[in-house]
Chains A and B, each alone.
Chain A
Amino acid sequence: MNTITDAFHLALNLIWQFDAELMRIIGLSLRVSLSAVVIGSIIGLPLGAFLALARFPGRHACIVVLNASMGLPPVVVGLVVYLILSRSGPLGTFGWLFTAAGMVVAQVVLITPIVAALSRQVVADLWSEYEEQLRSLGLTRLGAIATLLWDGRFSLSTAVLAGFGRAIAEVGAIIIVGGNIAGVTRTMTTAISLETSRGDLALAMALGIVLLTIAITINAAATTLGNAARRAQGA
């Protein structure tokens, strides 16, 4: 019990003092995960919309694979991205292994299927509501992608948030690809993992508190703003 309360006090102290190491770790975490969400959404939203609207042989199989990929094990993704980014791998020339860029790649692989699968469902539902009207106005199925992504923006923000949640909380992939190098690729989750095993529970706890706070704050803010905007639009 003492360990927990001591750790908690130390944690609050570190946060209160804006500990330099702590701030660097938080900054890197946010940078990596937000980059991954932006890239994952740029790929995942149109991909999901395409799978919702396009009709081609094998589409059903694609959707099954996509839905299954929402549960990709991070350590396996980490391993595969590690192999691809390693010196002898196909993307070895970039030198991204053990860098923030490499971690972004790994997280993009993890969250793109989440964003795509969730947005496919949103766009499919919206299409069934809009189909007759949009076709009447002269739009084709694939021509409707941009329209549906925009009109589904409130529901789609949930898909993007789900991707962010996965990215910011994930440790398995980035610890393999990034290597948890202090000051370079140490993020909140990899640091928690390391500090816990080293016995520095205070730093681990401080990071845990910050991680929880960030995750909850971003979700709460996005949900609140989204709901307000949704109500204003009557959507």
Chain B
Amino acid sequence: MHAPASLLPLVLETVQYGINGQALIHGIDLEFHPGPPTLVLGPNGAGKSLLLRLCHGLISPTAGRVIWHGLAAQNPEALRFGQAMVFQKPVLLRRSVLANMLFPLKLRGLNAGIRFARAMEALERVGLTALAQRPARVLSGGEQQRLALARAWALGPQILFLDEPAAALDPNATRQVESIITDIAASGTKIVMTTHDLGQARRLAGDVIFLHHGRITERTPAGDFFAGPRSAAAQAFLNGDLVW
């Protein structure tokens, strides 16, 4: 389902972001290459969600640049349609589950047969086939988030940003969501995800970016990070005594 050419790597060059002169993200340099999921950790207010939105292009940096270096990134349409994001609170259209799946596929100009096939395939992968005709807004929180993930997955994005996708879910729904995320990653999509659930980060992460006060204190392979983070802030965070 991938376009032949790649959008990645995604490179952030001294990206800053502020509101009303107050800097919230300070000179961040980052690169994202294809590979296992990257987890963005940090205390509340560290700027995790802002970082994802900057990468995804929902907000523009006040200084610095967000650059897509892949060959496919020359094509604005590939750039727009090659990435996707799922939010903490799923935003579903006031339509049926299936209509929610078909909507972005139609934006991508796919014909009706392909749209339907892709939508149903993705719904099956997240276990929502039986609910296809149900109005999306009456689903449970866990089902809504699975639908949001399926909707993003059906687009076959090269990179998928997940902002606390399981923050509001019970343990069972969280497990289902994690399993879907693992499957998406296995299908070749680069996952960049925030969470404040350390257990979840351990289960999913290939590497960890730790964010504190809008700065990256370290980026470390997951195993090393959880064995003993290099930065003092991350150390304190893992010990549960990071003072904000």
Question: Which A residues contact B (CB, under 8 angstroms)?
Answer: 129-130, 132-133, 135-139, 147, 150-151, 153-154, 232-235
Q: What are 28 A-B pairs at a CB distance below 8 A?
A: A130-B91, A132-B53, A132-B85, A132-B87, A133-B87, A133-B91, A136-B84, A137-B84, A137-B103, A137-B107, A138-B80, A138-B81, A138-B104, A138-B108, A139-B107, A147-B103, A150-B95, A151-B93, A151-B94, A153-B94, A232-B135, A232-B138, A233-B95, A233-B135, A233-B138, A234-B136, A234-B137, A234-B138
- Give the distance in Å from the alpha carbon of A233 to the alpha carbon of B139 in the complex: 10
- The residues in B between 106 and 146 inclusive whose CB is less than 8 angstroms from any CB of A are 107-108, 135-138
Flag whether B48 is at the interface (Cβ < 8 A): no
Structural contact, B137 and A147, CB atoms closer than 8 A? no
Flag whether B190 is at the interface (Cβ < 8 A): no
Nearest to A154 among chain B residues (CB) is: B94
Residues from chain A with a CB closer than 8 A to the CB of B107 are 137-139
The bracket for how many chain B residues form the interface is 20 to 34
- The residues in B between 43 and 84 inclusive whose CB is less than 8 angstroms from any CB of A are 53, 56, 58, 80-81, 84
- Give the distance in Å from the alpha carbon of A153 to the alpha carbon of B93 in the complex: 12
Structural contact, A233 and B56, CB atoms closer than 8 A? no
Structural contact, B81 and A234, CB atoms closer than 8 A? no
- Give the distance in Å from the alpha carbon of A234 to the alpha carbon of B135 in the complex: 7
**Main secondary structure on A side of the interface with B:** helix
> Which of B56, B80, B94 contacts A235 (CB under 8 A)?
B94
Structural contact, B91 and A129, CB atoms closer than 8 A? yes
> Which of A129, A151, A154 contacts B95 (CB under 8 A)?
A151
Nearest to B135 among chain A residues (CB) is: A233
Residues from chain A with a CB closer than 8 A to the CB of B94 are 151, 153-154, 233-235
Residues from chain B with a CB closer than 8 A to the CB of A129 are 91
- The residues in B between 190 and 228 inclusive whose CB is less than 8 angstroms from any CB of A are none
> Which of A130, A137, A235 contacts B137 (CB under 8 A)?
A235
- Give the distance in Å from the alpha carbon of A154 to the alpha carbon of B94 in the complex: 10
Residues from chain B with a CB closer than 8 A to the CB of A133 are 87, 91
Residues from chain A with a CB closer than 8 A to the CB of B108 are 138
Nearest to A143 among chain B residues (CB) is: B107
Given contacts A136-B56, A232-B135, 13 further A-B contacts (CB under 8 A): A129-B91, A132-B58, A133-B91, A137-B84, A137-B104, A137-B107, A138-B80, A147-B93, A151-B94, A233-B135, A233-B138, A234-B136, A235-B94
- Give the distance in Å from the alpha carbon of A133 to the alpha carbon of B136 in the complex: 15
Smallest distance from the beta carbon of B78 to chain A beta carbons, Å? 11
